[in-house]
Chain A
Amino acid sequence: MADSLRPAAATARGWGWRHAGRRRWAVSGLDLDIPAGQRVLLLGASGAGKSTLLRALAGVLGDEEDGEQTGSLLVDGVHPASARGRVGLVLQDPDAQVVLARVGDDIAFACENLGVPRDEIWRRVDAAIDAVGLRVGRGHPTAQLSGGQKQRLALAGILAMRPGLVLLDEPTANLDPEGAQSVRDAVLSATRGATLVVVEHRVDLWAAHMDRVIVLGEEGLIADGAPDEVFARFGSELTEAGVWVPGAAPWHSPRTRPTGPGARLLQATDLGVGRKAFGRRMPQVVASGIDLSVAAGRALAVTGPNGAGKSTLAMTVAGLLPAACGELAATDVLRDGAGADPVRWRSRELLTRIGMVFQEPEHQLLTARVRDELAVGPRALGIEGPELAARVDPLLERLRLTRLAAVNPFTLSGGEKRRLTVAAALATRPRMLVLDEPTYGQDARTWRELADLIDEVRDAGTAVVFVTHDPVLVAALADDQLRLDAAMAPGGVR
């Protein structure tokens, strides 16, 4: 199918967009020519307008009611909204984009909308399944696909339209390193012949395969050119702007590591973890035979492929889910008067013992102001007045959130939300901090801030457990490592 793609060109002239109700322009004064067939890596710090530009190129930004536009943005010389089918867009988080319950139907969806004849639709569906390396049949349930497979499904869904311009927003962000590489290869081979624009924080994975790098800043283009040239010439500016530059020195801890082990806080022996499916009585075990120990002042990294049960393990050691089998016990140091099993602690007892930061910050936000958000935990402990301020203010300052103290947390950027949820967990000074994918989708600047914060917390004697796909974070921070493998426990009820 690859040879039948006819590449499209895109042109922007003084183009800008401001979302309705916002004061700031998401993108302004953009001049850009993307010739047909070019492969472009689109970079920029959070909030530089990358996603807005992709949506505009796909013609899904909306009309006057949704925002204000200046200048022009054309695909093959026409407005993108009238070039439906010529442009295929995959947004972040492929899970949220599945439309239908069966793989074949979902891929066929775009073709149906465009009025492609039935026989042709199924020919295209089969070709698309093949092109992206999705090794399942048409009738396979979409709900049973893994993270990498969902990404391939989303790609197949737009390839079936035979687009001339393919736009991908962070296609490999939440995949384990091996999965990310294989999805990247699938993207490159399946989109051969089309123009390709990829937004991705992880530059190393893509840069060598792209013709051009475009870096968006808040004030328009920062850099534009061949990848090597751009990274060589603008390396430091890009790093400063939060772009991941290949080969740039990763962050190093400025603190000296203490020698000798810290006090042990939590011990797991032959632990199995799992969740109860909705309406079931027994948990479905996703990982078992886990031995681990969490010690004060040390960082334990939990790694492994998608679906290996890392998040479930994090929630189990954080006292949120019961162990499916095996043993998990807090030591006397962590217990401090409470029982041995963290899941039996009261919610308030958890606060000073184990803090947990979820993968999705929005699941964790409780209040309408940043300051109140930080005060939730201390208030639950009965801390009020000047003592509360003494807890909250330094945290706001430390995480550069002071100027946002009165803002609604839901309106913060991704990086700010992440900093806020970490700060909210730290406000009650837990002896152990559990983080699920703390650096997922973060630009280089936020990444460094988070790494520095985790390091500082560890230095102060807190035990840190973090689940991650990010090898750089592991190299920078992990004192101990636990790797979970995809080998599932069979059917797993015990």
Chain B
Amino acid sequence: MSALVAHPAARVASFNPVSKLVATLVMTVTLLLSIDPVSAGVTLAGVLVLMPFAGLPARMLWLRAWPLMLAAVIASAATVLYGRPAGETYVHWGLVHISDGSLQLALAILLRVLAISLPAIVLLSTTDPTDLADGLSQLLRLPSRFVLGALAGLRLVGLLVDDWRELSLARRARGVADTGRIRRFLGQAFALFVLAIRRGTKLATAMEARGFGAPGTRSWARPSRLRPRDAVLVAIAAAVAAASITISVAAGSWTFVWAL
């Protein structure tokens, strides 16, 4: 569950979660429109410049970012070797085909994964799920029934982790943990599924007993407010996205994904 815990000390934690979400979406959705190194490079440069202002400890950021960085490197390495060939070919050996096109595509993928994942990591590690739910319901007017239902369901994840461990130990105690690893996993997964449904049903009853879904207007114990700094955050994100598109189009490298 550690990935879900907010980092309350970080400066960026004082922004409204909705503005952080919008800022992240503005930057990353822009990057999903095109596959070219320039747009991703500009956004990544912007993100790296802004990162120190987020106030996250470097070590924590590194711990969460390295698996994604590794994935980005592996993905781009594969693209270098097997990407769609175009332009001058440098190496051609069986299926391996390193060319200008594959190198360019690999660079675009590497930069893109980093430019999308870094803001997402900052968002996730500095946002309390409860605050996000408050913001989504109060500011974006998403139906509170779904938002709060999802929030309560999220809390069950921790319990299901414990259930899974208990199920594994119980299987060992029943003498069936020596063989049939895959079959046992499937059986255990099904048992967890049954338990999850039971827990969910019970939680739903408890929520209903506390007036959840009652007719009438819901009130909010924690107000979700937007402050000037939230507007600034979204404006910066929009500026980064705009710069990324503008520079990429000016450089002639902007390529819509559907045009590939």
Contacts and interface: CB of A to CB of B under 8 A. Distances in A.
Which 8 residue pairs spanning A and B have beta carbons closest together? A113-B211, A347-B177, A110-B210, A97-B206, A380-B175, A108-B221, A351-B175, A89-B209
B141 to A, nearest CB: 16
Nearest to B215: A84
Contacts of A121: 219, 221
Contact of B158 (A118, A125, A143, A363): A143
Contacts of A360: 166
B199 A85 contact: no
Interface in A413-447: 424-425, 428
A126 B158 CA distance: 27
A381 B175 contact: yes
Contacts of A96: 159, 199, 202-203, 206
Given A99-B152, A110-B210, A113-B212, A366 B187 contact: yes
Contact of B170 (A59, A110, A117, A363): A363
Contacts of B195: 362-363
B164 to A, nearest CB: 9
Interface of A: 55, 58-60, 84-85, 87-89, 91, 93, 95-102, 104-105, 108-118, 121-122, 125, 143, 157-158, 161, 275, 278-279, 315, 318, 320-321, 346-348, 350-351, 355-356, 358, 360, 362-366, 376-377, 380-381, 410, 424-425, 428
B202 A97 contact: yes
Nearest to B188: A366
B225 to A, nearest CB: 12
Contact of A100 (B151, B158, B167): B151
Is chain B's binding surface mostly helix, strand, loop or mixed? Answer: helix
Contacts of A58: 209
B258 to A, nearest CB: 40
Interface of B: 1-2, 128-130, 148, 151-152, 155, 158-159, 161, 163, 165-167, 169-178, 187, 191, 194-195, 198-199, 202-203, 205-214, 216-223
A118 B169 CA distance: 46
A114 B221 contact: no
B205 A55 contact: yes
Nearest to A373: B174
A161 B209 CA distance: 11
B178 A346 contact: yes
B192 to A, nearest CB: 10
A364 B170 contact: yes
A161 B212 CA distance: 12
Contacts of A380: 174-176, 178
28 contacts: A59-B209, A60-B208, A60-B209, A84-B214, A88-B210, A96-B159, A97-B202, A100-B152, A101-B130, A104-B221, A105-B221, A110-B211, A114-B211, A115-B217, A118-B223, A143-B158, A158-B210, A318-B173, A347-B174, A347-B178, A362-B194, A366-B174, A366-B187, A366-B191, A376-B174, A380-B178, A424-B174, A425-B173
